[in-house]
Amino acid sequence: MDVLQRYAVEHDTRYAYTAPVSQSWQLARLTPRPLPWQRLISHSLQIEPGVDERRDELDSFGNTVTHFGLHGAHRVLNVRMHCLVEIGERIAVPQPDDAARRAPWEAVRDTIRHDQQLDDLVPASMCEPTALVPYSEAALVYAAPSFAHGRPWFEAVTELMHRIHAEFEFEPGATTVSTSVDEVLYQRRGVCQDFAHLMLACLRGMGLPARYVSGYLLTDPPPGQPRLMGADASHAWVAAYLPGRGWMEFDPTNDQLADIRYITLTWGADFADVVPLRGVILGGGEQRMEVEVSVLPV
């Protein structure tokens, strides 16, 4: 890695309950992945009140999952993740004379379908529909103009990213976790999760492997203004697979390839596989959740 950048990340989640919770079992996916371009220097996960049980394990995608339980009555739950990561350059963009850049998208699709020599079976599984990204005829129709016959894979996927960025409005609150791809296509607005799910539905509809990536993005404050603690948020983008080169990461929300500003936390088939914190409680009444994320260059 020639260019390196270190970041300190804090991800705070606070639950407040109107009645005592007698039992709580939670799953936290709050550990950045070790990757060829990403090194986890330090990491801590602080939980208040103190837990009665806790263990770490890997899920089917290789994400670290922290299981923990609280067996005493409590009205609040605070989970704070702090880490220091070092990021380098990802897979380089194919050059104009690169065979990977010239490969027609149909050849990529057919390789995934028929090539039994693939070393990694995961790409083929990332063509399958999921609960949050089911097969969508509307998404297939939307994707079609970018995937003309014989068009190079990289050119087609990049134009799809450009179109989503240009034709959809970023509007927090316009959607919920359960908003479908077809609803996003109809409304033409949403947030990064929606745009990632839409791009996944388009690529998978064309028979191309793609996965959902969750993490953090260093944001730039307005000129002359200091960076605000807690002002950032979790981010989502898409990784698409090109045989012979691997996974390349596209961000339709910001219309760019992922670079050293992107910190990878987890990945999966859709958002359900990467939820930062989810669980089951007994009691509690109504609950209020607050999340704050800070990403600071070191």
Q: Which single residue is written with the structure tokens 């070393």?
A: 119
Q: Specify the pLDDT at position 90.
A: 85
- Structural domain including 177 reads 99-258
CA 262 to chain centre: 10
Q: Which single residue is written with the structure tokens 């999966």?
A: 268
Q: Which amino acid is at 117?
A: Q
Q: Specify the pLDDT at position 2.
A: 66
User: Is 135 found in the same domain as 34?
Assistant: no
Q: Which amino acid is at 98?
A: D
User: Is 199 found in the same domain as 108?
Assistant: yes
Q: Distance between CA 224 and CA 226 in Å, rounded?
A: 7
pLDDT means per 10 residues, the chain with 298 residues, are: 86 96 97 96 97 96 97 96 95 64 90 67 88 96 97 96 97 88 96 96 97 93 72 89 91 94 96 96 92 93
Q: Distance between CA 281 and CA 53 in Å, rounded?
A: 15
Whichever domain contains 29, its CATH number is 2.60.40.2250
* Structural domain includes residue 198: yes
Short-list 183, 211, 187, 203, CA closest to 267: 211
* Structural domain includes residue 93: no
User: Is 105 found in the same domain as 33?
Assistant: no
User: Is 25 found in the same domain as 60?
Assistant: yes
